[in-house]
Chains A and B, each alone.
Chain A
């Protein structure tokens, strides 16, 4: 009979007797009573290793009064979770892409940054993407020619590739069809394809898409692109000499921001752009006379595109020269005072609503004293769910058909979503880069194949005035309010 003490975890069990004639299994059973650790999970350290169930005590050489150490727990054995964990590294490529929170860049095929940045900007419009995905050969109207069709399909494919891929996508197919459709982009210089004007690419691409995406019925409403980007202008043409006055309407895809000496801010540039002089034959005078044309916005698009007119043809140097003047633009644009009277009236109510909501968000009481408190209560309850950003995303889901139906209304207030910048001294040289705001609110700079995250405050610094990237085409997204 031996007496030993056994240390288990932090406890010491003194004076445990071992009957050396019985196998160690019996000793383990004794310990089971004391510790609750089943014998098969007990590990008892003795000299030279662990105590085996069938070992011979005499061979082990345990001495009287020796301290033994036991390891073992009655805990549950660790089991792998039933649902295996999926690791990002194992995911297929497209799912890895969504993990990043932004899509891939585009490979520069040799002076194609103008095209890459244009594609990245347009791709950020989800409605355009969905319109493209609905496009099919069957649905195309007969007045769309083969090349336009091919370009539309190529655009759709490219957008899809960008969403699926983690690594930079090579837009070879798209580029080929673009050049086929618009041979001017195939210009060569020293055996290389020349740098092109991004604005031209933007306009042409959008025009092609608008043609091909027109619904077969070819009704005005079903022009998806127009609904998204089209701005209706009502102009008053006035001839001072004759006093003639006429009005006309037109639809454009972008507003121009003219840059002159007085223009320091986007707003001033836009105003400038909506006024113009033109010479035409005056029926009253029988000769050409100077007419003054003043335009106002008659209907608002979901996406308002503004082009800074930074390039002009310089005759002396025979090239498109660039105006480096700094023109500030806001992250939030209000174009109320560029609207026509009718439109203003329509906008007033939604704008009031928006102001109220914002006021509440800041904790201010709405000014309206006439409303009774019940109304206020409901207002307050609704407010948080209808905050600016959310309501506009809600609006996107409803499709691009109409902006002012089913409770969501335009407010004339726009948020900046993409900036296409140019760096360099002339339109046909330098470098184009796209800066796109993601749904998460993050800004991504797409410098060809390298997307990188940017800070919002740096986006407004692209306003020119130096040799840094400066905004060339910017796009705003309408803010809606639900009534």
Chain B
């Protein structure tokens, strides 16, 4: 909104200003004379002329009237160009506004009356009382001439009055046609004069954004759309969708397909995505679209309508299926020279701690080895090599070759599955490595191998569906650990795919009276992942029945929380669609009812920034409850989930959490670090880091544990030295406490995840898009962390692998037209918000020039530093195809 300045105050100010500035130039003897006499001769002349015109206008002779009005108009127009002060003619006419108004009222209908109305309309700009909207009134009765001829300020004022008038008329339900004509004119004027934001504001006020389509052109559509998309974040539904729809249409109109696709993905509108493909004819650009879709992590099938040629389609589908992700990631790793595998000891850096460096060769601790397994998996994720699991097993050495057996019982599950993490995205090699573990008769190992297959296939789709073929066999096995391995593997491999075949094999488990609780919990969770954000009725029904069938005792179990969570994931980000299910959840046993309610609410509004929901959740956190109620944990997490999408809301949420921390009950405090971790995931803000560091020494060990894990989350994949140092000190501080030390180790692994090449942030494409599967993975882990002792520190530690859903290289990799990596110089710097700024402002600040591939940290943006190539997407993240610039000339 750009409200016109209050005309009166500006007038006064200008007058005073004039008086003081003009004084020195005056003849000293006139100094004390009346104000009128302060005027220069020119001004005096003007004033007298205008007074004469006013008199003449009231003359009965129409000829004279007309001449006077014309001259008056001339004078006004000639001077309205300046905006810094009230134009002189307007100032001098101020005293006569009343007279002219009176006269106008008594005039007969005629052109002259209209002419006078025009002038009055302009005069009302400074004279009209607040809320009278006289300017608009006179404008409507005036001659309807070119609106811009009266100057910019006049148009802006008019726009403001229209908005007010519109609301009034909406209330009275009277016609708005005359207003809309005016709106047309104003919008056209604004769009021509670089005032897109004002045009959009006006149209939003009069609820007719479609008009915009007629007025955008090649020069201003970008700024318009930019404003629209960023305004959408602050609009209540369904207006935000409407605004984005318009932006999408504008982008399509100007063939700015990557942006259009981005908005289509934001709206989760597959029809629009398809339209982008059908509208675009360039194959190379379509490849770029495929890269964008693959980053978003949704399942998308290309059909002949989108790409005609079969060979081309197969190639594009390969890109969508992410089959080249591993290759690109390894290119980045080789370029940055971090291929060398790291051991957990390289991460712990115990030699930097004094005192306890040499603890000596003590016996293997199962807990510490398990931690090392996870650290090894996270650090070497996707590199295809490590020093514990993939080294050729040598029966003589016994130390490295048999790392698997240095883990105890269920620990072996996580160890075998860690192979999947190490070979992440490389399906062929991954399956080869995992194969041998299928042939043992040690159930935990088989379970791990199954889970590993799921992890390897995370985000990758393959025509042969190896994960389904392999894991499907094990779903109904006898041993529940094997079943869980297979079920969780399917959930990870097929997250977001809405695969019917899996649904038909997993749903029966949910309502199988004989199935153990943990199998049911993981089945519900996996179904939630596979159908994330789909609002699928059938799956929802199955989970609801499963929840209703649980006995009182089972509802108290820690793992039961995965049932409501699975249900919530079905509605991730789908807002109102959750309401029917939320109603049903009110009938649940009271032990789980509130928990379910909070989980559903927070999932449904995740990433929307809905302020009302944030308030609801905050109110829940503020209650002081009897012991045994456990729904406040998900409420705190929900707060973060809802608020995480947008910067301002995020900062506010961080501040509110600080309050919650001070006044909340213990079970609320335990969830606060996790919420902070979610808000700043892979984005180590110093203030949050300090808060978490403080909490990591909390006397309540569960608060400390969540704070430690969260330190890992906010630093995930950043190699942040400060967090690494904090964790190192914590590792010596909690030297004797095995559980806390385990958490510290996990956090250390997270900070060095992918040796610093990965991110866990579910947001991508300049923080606009939210990958639903990534968020699902993180939220699941956080819910598991709400009861750390029985899940992660118990025997279900492998839920940590759910993070794989959110793991993505934080890279920008440029490829040529044949999709081969090429190196070009790019500038990488802090992103600057340029929405609504005039001119062509810089989009990054404090940049450094590198050559691709480069890493992008949170809040950073890249731009090409050469004109030799043209990027096919304006959003320089992930894979970017470069086209040679035909106009480029070597200098």
Q: Which residues of A contact B (CB under 8 A)?
A: 7, 9-10, 41, 43, 45-50, 67-69, 71-73, 75-81, 85-91, 95, 99-101, 440, 442, 453-455
Partner of B402, one of A41, A77, A81, A455: A81
20 inter-chain pairs at a CB distance below 8 angstroms, sorted by A residue, are A43-B469, A45-B470, A46-B464, A46-B469, A48-B469, A49-B469, A50-B470, A71-B470, A78-B440, A87-B364, A88-B365, A88-B366, A90-B366, A91-B363, A101-B359, A440-B360, A442-B356, A453-B735, A454-B355, A455-B354
Asked whether A455 lies within 8 Å of B355 as measured between CB atoms, the reply is yes
Asked whether B365 lies within 8 Å of A89 as measured between CB atoms, the reply is yes
Q: Which residues of B contact A (CB under 8 A)?
A: 354-356, 358-360, 362-367, 369, 393, 398, 402, 404-406, 408, 428-429, 431-432, 435-440, 442, 445, 462-466, 468-470, 472-473, 501, 735-736
Asked whether A88 lies within 8 Å of B364 as measured between CB atoms, the reply is yes
| Residue ID in chain A nearest B366 by CB atoms | A87
Nearest chain A CB to B318 CB, angstrom units: 12
Q: Once bound together, how far apart are the Cα atoms of A87 and B358, in whole Å? A: 19
Nearest chain A CB to B490 CB, angstrom units: 13
Chain A residues positioned under 8 Å from B428 (CB to CB)? 7, 9-10
Nearest chain A CB to B348 CB, angstrom units: 17
Chain B residues positioned under 8 Å from A440 (CB to CB)? 358, 360
Chain B residues positioned under 8 Å from A85 (CB to CB)? 364, 405-406
Nearest chain B CB to A234 CB, angstrom units: 43
Known contacts being A71-B435, A71-B466, A453-B355, is A49 close to B365, with CB within 8 Å? Answer: no
| Residue ID in chain A nearest B439 by CB atoms | A77
Nearest chain B CB to A105 CB, angstrom units: 11
Partner of B404, one of A78, A442, A455: A78
Chain B residues positioned under 8 Å from A76 (CB to CB)? 393, 436
Chain B residues positioned under 8 Å from A79 (CB to CB)? 440
Asked whether B440 lies within 8 Å of A88 as measured between CB atoms, the reply is no
Q: Once bound together, how far apart are the Cα atoms of A80 and B325, in whole Å? A: 35
Nearest chain A CB to B468 CB, angstrom units: 8
List 5 additional A-B contacts (Cβ < 8 Å) besides A73-B436, A440-B358, A455-B354: A7-B428, A49-B472, A73-B432, A81-B405, A101-B362
Q: Once bound together, how far apart are the Cα atoms of A95 and B364, in whole Å? A: 12
Partner of A87, one of B408, B469, B735: B408
Could you say which of B355, B363, B406, B735 has the most chain A C-beta atoms within 10 Å of its C-beta?
B363
Chain B residues positioned under 8 Å from A442 (CB to CB)? 355-356
Asked whether B393 lies within 8 Å of A78 as measured between CB atoms, the reply is yes
Known contacts being A7-B428, A87-B366, is A48 close to B501, with CB within 8 Å? Answer: yes
| Residue ID in chain A nearest B408 by CB atoms | A87
Q: Once bound together, how far apart are the Cα atoms of A41 and B432, in whole Å? A: 12
Asked whether A101 lies within 8 Å of B360 as measured between CB atoms, the reply is yes
Chain B residues positioned under 8 Å from A80 (CB to CB)? 405, 442
Could you say which of B358, B439, B472 has the most chain A C-beta atoms within 10 Å of its C-beta?
B439
Chain B residues positioned under 8 Å from A455 (CB to CB)? 354-355
Chain B residues positioned under 8 Å from A41 (CB to CB)? 435, 439
Q: Once bound together, how far apart are the Cα atoms of A350 and B235, in whole Å? A: 89
Nearest chain B CB to A168 CB, angstrom units: 12
Asked whether A43 lies within 8 Å of B470 as measured between CB atoms, the reply is yes
Nearest chain B CB to A360 CB, angstrom units: 25
| Residue ID in chain B nearest A96 by CB atoms | B363
Q: Once bound together, how far apart are the Cα atoms of A85 and B432, in whole Å? A: 27
Chain A residues positioned under 8 Å from B429 (CB to CB)? 9-10
Q: Once bound together, how far apart are the Cα atoms of A49 and B364, in whole Å? A: 40
Partner of A9, one of B365, B366, B432, B439: B432
Known contacts being A45-B466, A88-B362, A91-B363, is A71 close to B431, with CB within 8 Å? Answer: yes
Nearest chain A CB to B137 CB, angstrom units: 73
Nearest chain A CB to B366 CB, angstrom units: 4
Partner of B365, one of A7, A10, A81, A87: A87
| Residue ID in chain B nearest A51 by CB atoms | B469
Nearest chain B CB to A184 CB, angstrom units: 37
Chain A residues positioned under 8 Å from B354 (CB to CB)? 455
Asked whether A45 lies within 8 Å of B432 as measured between CB atoms, the reply is no
Q: Once bound together, how far apart are the Cα atoms of A398 and B801, in whole Å? A: 56
Asked whether B473 lies within 8 Å of A50 as measured between CB atoms, the reply is yes
Asked whether A72 lies within 8 Å of B435 as measured between CB atoms, the reply is yes
Nearest chain A CB to B350 CB, angstrom units: 13
| Residue ID in chain A nearest B362 by CB atoms | A99
Nearest chain A CB to B497 CB, angstrom units: 16
Asked whether A45 lies within 8 Å of B445 as measured between CB atoms, the reply is no
| Residue ID in chain A nearest B409 by CB atoms | A87
Q: Once bound together, how far apart are the Cα atoms of A88 and B738, in whole Å? A: 11
| Residue ID in chain B nearest A72 by CB atoms | B435
Q: Once bound together, how far apart are the Cα atoms of A313 and B311, in whole Å? A: 101
Chain A residues positioned under 8 Å from B435 (CB to CB)? 41, 43, 71-73, 75
**Which 8 A-B residue pairs are closest in the complex by CB-CB distance?**
A69-B464, A45-B469, A99-B362, A87-B366, A88-B365, A45-B464, A88-B363, A77-B439
Nearest chain B CB to A169 CB, angstrom units: 16
Nearest chain A CB to B423 CB, angstrom units: 12
Q: Once bound together, how far apart are the Cα atoms of A86 and B365, in whole Å? A: 8
Chain B residues positioned under 8 Å from A68 (CB to CB)? 464
Chain B residues positioned under 8 Å from A9 (CB to CB)? 428-429, 432
Q: Once bound together, how far apart are the Cα atoms of A79 and B466, in whole Å? A: 25
Chain A residues positioned under 8 Å from B442 (CB to CB)? 80
Asked whether B464 lies within 8 Å of A67 as measured between CB atoms, the reply is yes
Q: Once bound together, how far apart are the Cα atoms of A68 and B393, in whole Å? A: 29
Known contacts being A85-B406, A87-B408, is A69 close to B358, with CB within 8 Å? Answer: no
Chain A residues positioned under 8 Å from B408 (CB to CB)? 87, 89
Chain B residues positioned under 8 Å from A69 (CB to CB)? 462, 464, 466
Nearest chain A CB to B737 CB, angstrom units: 13
Q: Once bound together, how far apart are the Cα atoms of A75 and B394, in whole Å? A: 12
Chain B residues positioned under 8 Å from A48 (CB to CB)? 469, 501
Nearest chain A CB to B456 CB, angstrom units: 11
Nearest chain A CB to B431 CB, angstrom units: 5
Asked whether B436 lies within 8 Å of A78 as measured between CB atoms, the reply is yes
Chain A residues positioned under 8 Å from B431 (CB to CB)? 71
Q: Once bound together, how far apart are the Cα atoms of A67 and B398, in whole Å? A: 40
Chain A residues positioned under 8 Å from B432 (CB to CB)? 9, 71, 73
Chain B residues positioned under 8 Å from A43 (CB to CB)? 435, 438, 469-470
Asked whether A67 lies within 8 Å of B463 as measured between CB atoms, the reply is yes
Q: Once bound together, how far apart are the Cα atoms of A85 and B470, in whole Å? A: 31
Q: Once bound together, how far apart are the Cα atoms of A48 and B439, in whole Å? A: 22
Q: Once bound together, how far apart are the Cα atoms of A81 and B501, in whole Å? A: 39
Nearest chain B CB to A93 CB, angstrom units: 13
| Residue ID in chain A nearest B432 by CB atoms | A9
